[in-house]
Structure 1
Amino acid sequence: MNEFLIFISLCFGLDLLLGDPGTWPHPVRFVGCILNFFEKFFRKLKVNLYLAGFLALITGSVGIGCFVNFLTTLPVIGNFFAFYLGYAALALGSLIREGRKVLSLLTAGELEEARHALSFLVSRDTRVMDEQEVCRALVETLSENFNDGFCAPFFYLALGGPAGVWVYKFVSTMDSMWGYKNRKWRQLGFAGARADDILAFIPARLSALLLWLAAKVLRLPVAVKWKEVLEDARKTESPNAGWPMAMAAHILQVELGGPAVYFDQLKDKPKLGPSGREITAQKIEQLISIILTAGFLFFGAVIVTGLVFL
């Protein structure tokens, strides 16, 4: 078994086993500090914010890639940094754990606690959600973050190793922090948002395919029509977020989207999936099983590819 397969296997296994321990320093926080520095620096200079966004994107991406490459090639401890940074870039284990936590609170009838637990997974306001709104938000974030938290990072980890995945994570974090279409962020976040759209283009569509294959592997009674998935995926503002969400909606035969509150503003999100279908705890449990199976399918595909071509 070559070094690449050992590396990929350990990163995937550690992610499932350990998730994201809250007491450990996470590299994403370091990326966030860099972006906060860039924001204050460029706003203080009062330069064109579109230009500032592009400069931050290029400088940060190159800097992160070079820094990670330096750490992972250090004598003796380089392998430790490689395994840690590879594992830390993935979030499948945490996604499954947090999803099950919200679901268990819902099934126990603890709606207030479920809202609070959900607030750590979504950017929308969860304080006044009813049970069905919590269920819908949970399905949406689980399916969307299957791509954002695992599929896309694993894709770039397999292609570019730790340096490659952390360039992607820098862009993704930049989009998460700056990519809002409001007066404060529209200009500064433009470059990061467009770069994230480009980098996530293939993984997003791959994530939908993996969810569909996982449902088949689990022998779920699904009859997904790809034409309808495609139509729904195109409804979302993001060219990528709609793919895993639309696929999840059609696999589970539930309706996603609708009104949601973001930063005290009501937003009417496009409806995805069959109209008027209620989301049950059983449906959410099915989705968690599908996502976990899809993760293993992607891992298996990477291993087989490595065995064949490396």
Structure 2
Amino acid sequence: MLDAGGAARAYPASMDFHTFLPLAAVALDAALGDPHRWPHPVRLIGAALNALERPVRNCPAGLQQIYGTATAFLLSYAACACVYYLGRLPVFGWAVSLYFAYAGLALGQLLREARAAARLIGAGRDDEARRALGMLVSRDTSGLDRAGQWRTLAETVSENFCDAFVAPFLYLCLGGAPLLWLYKTISTMDSMWGYKTQRFKHLGWAGARADDLLAWVPARLSAWVLIFSASLMGLPTAGARANVRADAARMASPNAGWPMSAAAWLCGASMGGRAVYFGQEVEKPLLGPADCAWEAESVKTLLNLIIISSIALCVSASALLLGLEAVFS
């Protein structure tokens, strides 16, 4: 971290450097989203992962696992170091840090795309809705009926509340843009290599485990922020409080079920059931109240809940950072 004159300082004394950075990044994300014409660091990381996969695609499983572990460590460290040193550039370092902080958040774009998909579903434009959903999820959306479209939209929005916002925002608050991009690199690696298919189950093992570890606290924080915000909105919270832990434990992922279960109970609709991934049918655990379908109104409630929860988290984090700055300054 740097002081106003550009000299490096120890962490507690330099908290003023990034106290307002998270709020500024959130504001830019809400205003701009992720314009497709703009370059984005995640695309660069994705291109690097594609290039790094090719040399070991046909190698033995053990070698792939070692290679994947080294890639997870070195690529995340390189991203963190790159963002750190670019942020130390004279004159423009603050702007670089702000850009990387903003680019690491994806809530604004998630909400834009979710609203667009919801409009298509609500208008009965099924083919277009399935294509829009296919841009948001890794499952096969081609056979989804109307109820399946609403449910798929609700599932991806609630799960990505953690992945696209809470987790990167938390790491941004804890360690600035460099720590955020260490997390984002691991998260991107998990989203590309973290599948339990023949192609990726060994190569992506380390990235998937690292992502599980880094998302452990944010996933649980996501659920409780949703519950707290639902109470502010007057939504019933007893079901979520009583069931979120047990629901989440039934999921294959140690983290995904927390925000999904909370959202399902708070909005009064079911998640889980049949889904198709890479040509294979999967029966996902039931989350939330049984036999309650998602509809336009419940999805609208979910989107409003996500917005209120994001505001609540920003206000709480800002107050905490300001308090810490006052203590250590």
TM-score normalised by the chain length of structure 1: 0.96
SS of the counterpart of 1:48? helix
Identity level (%):
43
Superposition deviation, residue 10 in structure 1: 1.1
For 1:179 and 1:274, the matched residues in 2 are separated by 30
- Post-superposition Cα deviations, 1:50-74, rounded to whole Å, max 9, x if no partner, equal 1111110111111111111111111
Residue 63 of structure 1: which of 78, 83, 91 is its match?
Answer: 78
Cross-structure match for 1:77: 92
Q: For the Cα contact (< 8 Å) 2:226–2:262, is it kept in 1?
A: yes
Q: What amino acid is the match of 1:193? A: A
Structure 2 residue 239 is matched with structure 1 residue 224:
yes
Aligned residues: 310
For 1:42 and 1:293, the matched residues in 2 are separated by 45
Cross-structure match for 2:32: 18
Cross-structure match for 1:128: 143
Cross-structure match for 2:20: 6
Cross-structure match for 2:43: 29
Structure 2 residue 228 is matched with structure 1 residue 213:
yes
In structure 1, list runs of 5 or more residues that go unmatched.
none
Superposition deviation, residue 14 in structure 1: 0.2
For 1:45 and 1:287, the matched residues in 2 are separated by 45
For 1:104 and 1:279, the matched residues in 2 are separated by 14
- Post-superposition Cα deviations, 1:77-134, rounded to whole Å, max 9, x if no partner, equal 2112111110010011111111111111122222222111111111111112100000
Residue 244 of structure 1: which of 256, 259, 276 is its match?
Answer: 259
In structure 2, list runs of 5 or more residues that go unmatched.
1-14
Superposition deviation, residue 225 in structure 1: 4.4
Q: What amino acid is the match of 1:33? A: A
Greater CA drift, 98-107 or 237-246: 98-107
Superposition deviation, residue 45 in structure 1: 7.0
Superposition deviation, residue 9 in structure 1: 1.7
Cross-structure match for 1:292: 307
Structure 1's 67 and 282: CA in aligned 2 closer, same or farther, altered over 3 A? same
- Post-superposition Cα deviations, 1:209-244, rounded to whole Å, max 9, x if no partner, equal 111111111112443342311111111110000000
For 1:146 and 1:174, the matched residues in 2 are separated by 18
SS of the counterpart of 1:102? helix
For 1:294 and 1:9, the matched residues in 2 are separated by 14
Structure 2 residue 66 is matched with structure 1 residue 51:
yes
Greater CA drift, 299-308 or 40-49: 40-49
SS of the counterpart of 1:224? helix
For 1:169 and 1:142, the matched residues in 2 are separated by 18
Q: What amino acid is the match of 2:54? A: K
- Post-superposition Cα deviations, 1:175-233, rounded to whole Å, max 9, x if no partner, equal 11111112111111110000000000000000001111111111124433423111111
Q: What amino acid is the match of 2:149? A: V
For 2:245 and 2:109, the matched residues in 1 are separated by 28
